[in-house]
Structure 1
Amino acid sequence: MSETANTSSGRVAVITGAGRGIGAAIAETLRDAGYRVASFDISDAAPEGVLGVACNVTNTESVDEAFKKVEAEYGPVEILVANAGITRDTLLMRMSDEDWEKVLDVNLTGAYRVVRRAVRGMVKQRFGRIVATSSVVALLGSAGQVNYASTKAGLIGMARSVAREVGGRGITFNVVAPGFIQTAMTDVLDEATQKSYAERIPVGRMGTIADVAHAVKFLVEDETGYITGAVIPVDGGLGMGH
């Protein structure tokens, strides 16, 4: 583990959905910056040097047990990144109740469960940094993603409401809204499709998971305690004006 010049001082950070993709990149970035990082995932998979804890965010008891494990190993949780999410894309008229409810339970209610549990300790410590991973589709909308876009928009309302409740206790709650990010899912797209995506983005390229991770790192630092209730777009300008 390498130390950097920021003031993490070994603060304890939990990242949900950190078994792969953006969540893993966030976990690795914070680990390398000197944070003591735990991953909450459906399995206990985690990047090297990160404490892997099995956690089902759709179950309150599972969330509580996962926090207890981190608290026993590292101490009180000071930073939470609510990143876990799933998709079940289909057009509205074909979308089943299960498609809607499952995405809502993981993406929005799951975030609510982990935020509620984390805030308990943060209030006592009078310090906390919470970041939720939303999406550019929260503001732009996306055909075939009514369920997903609704949950990602809901995270913004959650962040701003909680930020007002607990801001006086030294706790901030912000949102990152990634755009088109290059992941294993986008790698399978043909070259023409990837080029068409890039042409819609003012900076002329798709984002990387590192782009998102560094935005999160900025928001959880001690020095950014006067930023709260903000939505930080990590989309190359795709959602400008929204």
Structure 2
Amino acid sequence: MIRIEHLTLGYGGRILLDGVSAAIPAGTLTALLGRNGTGKSTLLRALAGLGERRGGRVLLDGRDLDRIAPPQLAATVAFVTTERVRIANLRCRDVVALGRAPYTNWIGRMQAEDAAVVARALAAVGMEGYAGRTMDTMSDGECQRVMIARALAQQTPIILLDEPTSFLDLPNRYELCTLLRRLARDEGKCILFSTHELDIALALCDSVALIDPPYLHHLPTEEMVRSGHIERLFGSAVVGFDPVSGTIKLEKQFDKP
């Protein structure tokens, strides 16, 4: 679970979020939305312990972020950034094995149990057949699945992802977010990801966190649809939404960078 209490974030003389509070439970997939430059990446980095806060506190799995030692933090939250791994001769299983760093011995030697975790993580994202392939020979979508497998290998209750659908075509975007939803529900993880894909967010996510500087609105997806925040901020009216099938209809497409 992620809980933020009276959190304030900003850079320079600008305040992005001012005293906001929210709670994101385990076993759910939450989309983080907002216009460009409103602080989506800044918020994710703050939740991962990688960015400064101007006020408030963050609790991860019930523990104050400021009191979690680095080894414990690595076993609590996994962060998948927008960076693309394209290192020649680096095999998929080696990338995923990096997620075992919090658990290996002092020289970083993998044990049989660690190897089994890596194999299960690759299988969970449908990449077990790519274990021996190098990252420089794979597509963006395949590499993104491997990076998610690395996060799974960390065995953390919380996973944060910054724009995981960037540079993917529409079918792969939907497939990736469907995978994230399955992992949240089947593994009981708390997964929060930033995105510009409004239609996918409303179709697949349990809740939506919407940055509206200096506020943060966090509501179940159906309530967010009814709230009018989306129409007000993006000019996209949701004129039809079926929560069972996940089918939505927008008056116009979501504003993209």
Provide the TM-score with structure 2 as the length reference: 0.33
Provide the TM-score with structure 1 as the length reference: 0.35
Per residue, is there more helix in 1 or in 2?
Answer: 1
